[in-house]
């Protein structure tokens, strides 16, 4: 009995199973068709299919939101920390980016959304 070749194959195989599990079960495989911009209490939906740059006015000024190739991001924002722009491209349903100082948030809509799990 030793750590045989078969054992090593099994460990590699098991690693592949784990990777497979991560890629199929990571959240919900929702394809987003629209995204939603919230400005305070106003929420507007936009299609992801149309490439454009949208300007939203918030508490601090104008946030620019870019839509390209079915993805969305904060292009520019008047906040100091720039967490929103640093979030980068939003791709999957449920992905979100928020500019709290300016009061603007982006969210991709689609798939099944889990708010919480209750009995």
Nearer to another protein, 11 or 49 (CB): 11
For position 7 contacting another protein by CB under 8 A, the verdict is yes
For position 18 contacting another protein by CB under 8 A, the verdict is yes
State the alpha helices, DSSP H only, in 1-119. 5-25, 83-86
What secondary structure letter does DSSP report for 30? P
Taking the C-alpha atoms of residue 37 and residue 40, their distance in angstroms, rounded to an integer, is: 10
For position 10 contacting another protein by CB under 8 A, the verdict is yes
For position 114 contacting another protein by CB under 8 A, the verdict is yes
Structure tokens at 61: 């000024």
- In this structure, the strands spanning 34-39 and 96-99 are unpaired
Nearer to another protein, 6 or 41 (CB): 6
Residues that bind another protein (CB under 8 A): 1-7, 9-11, 14-15, 17-18, 21-22, 25-27, 112, 114, 117, 119
């Amino acid at each position: 009995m030793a750590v045989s070749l078969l054992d090593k194959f099994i460990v590699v195989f098991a690693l592949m199973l784990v990777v497979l599990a991560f890629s199929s079960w990571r959240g919900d495989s929702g394809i987003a068709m629209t995204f939603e911009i919230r400005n305070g209490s106003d929420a507007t939906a936009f299609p992801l299919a149309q490439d454009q740059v949208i300007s939203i006015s918030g508490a601090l000024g104008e946030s620019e939101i870019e839509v390209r190739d079915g993805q969305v991001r904060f292009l520019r924002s008047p906040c100091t920390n720039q967490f929103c722009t640093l979030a980068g491209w939003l791709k999957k349903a449920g992905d979100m980016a928020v500019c709290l100082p300016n009061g603007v948030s982006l969210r991709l809509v689609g798939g099944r959304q889990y708010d919480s799990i209750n009995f």
